[in-house]
Amino acid sequence: MSPQTVPTETIKQITHLAAALKAPRITESAARLADHARDAGWTHEDYLAAVLEREVAARNASGAQLRIRAAGMPAVKTIEDFDFDQQPAARTPVQALASGAYLTEHRNVVLLGPPGTGKTHVASALGVTAARQGHRVLFATATDWVARLGEAHDRGRLPAELTRLRRYGLIIVDEVGYLPFEQDAASLFFQLVSSRYEHASLILTSNLPFSSWAGVFGDQVVAAAMIDRIVHHADVIALKGASYRLRDRGIDTLPSIKAEQKSLD
């Protein structure tokens, strides 16, 4: 029986049921697979499984795109696009993180290195991978996170905001250390880190080694307590070398890059 000879009422019923299930793609998949199922001698169970498999795959792909857009990442990057020839030591640890096991274990990832060495690319790529694996992700710079938390604090909703953020499997904090924090801002950032400790994962990028974080947060004690919580369950990856943005421009180094590199070695 060809698709043209399938009773009209049957087609209408399939369309109606698919709409009721909020799965309109089932109608298309059922029609597209019908002839192949007959020719290949599929059982009814094989045919049903194939139709449902395509619906689930389509939903997952659609959901992943929604999660990626909602994450607020500056660009959609992938691990496959990263130039590991420039960062060979990072290849194994980064590719291992792509499995997503660190998310189920509520582990953190810290990417350290001079500007232009690919920290944001790796963080974004891991965020895209996490979204495709079904996790909710949010991306922002450290200063943007502090501004967001400060607004919640001013409205008397900081505890509720921290609780809400903990429902996200992954939060990415980019550019820690690019600008110093005032005492109140450092306190807000510390609360974000503490609220996620052993509950959900963080990815942080920084151009500074941990030994310089006290200058960022303005307090050695606060910085030490924060680092302790971040690295207790974390993969710390150092990216080295000159900025990829300066390649082929006759500029080999940026100010302080050598000092930062020595600190990371």
pLDDT by 10s per residue, the chain, length 265: 444 456 678 778 888 877 887 777 788 888 888 888 888 889 988 888 888 888 777 777 778 888 999 999 999 999 999 999 999 999 999 999 999 999 999 999 999 999 989 999 999 999 999 999 999 999 999 999 999 999 999 999 999 999 999 999 999 999 999 888 999 999 999 999 999 999 999 999 999 999 999 999 988 898 999 999 999 999 999 999 777 655 655 555 555 544 444 555 5
Amino acid making up residue 229: R
pLDDT of residue 241: 79
Residues in the chain: 265
pLDDT of residue 3: 45
Strands 170-176 and 137-141: parallel
Q: Which domains does the chain have, with CATH numbers?
A: 3-68 (no CATH), 72-264 (3.40.50.300)
pLDDT of residue 82: 95
Single pTM value for the model: 0.75
pLDDT of residue 258: 47
pLDDT of residue 261: 47
Bridge partners of 176, per DSSP, are 206
The pair of structure tokens assigned to 237 is 């990856």
The pair of structure tokens assigned to 155 is 């409205």
d(CA 223, CA 212): 9
| Neighbour count for residue 221 (Cβ, 10 Å) | 9
DSSP 3-state of 255: coil
Task: Report yes or no: 5 and 37 within 8 Å, Cβ to Cβ.
Answer: no
The pair of structure tokens assigned to 103 is 């998310």
For residue 111, which phi and psi values (nearest 5 degrees)?
-110, 115
pLDDT of residue 246: 54
Torsion region of 250: left, alpha or beta (phi above 0 gives left; psi -120 to 50 gives alpha): left
For residue 172, which phi and psi values (nearest 5 degrees)?
-110, 125
Within 8 A by CB and 6+ apart from 126, the residues are 79, 94, 97, 98, 109, 170, 172, 203
Strands 108-112 and 201-206: parallel
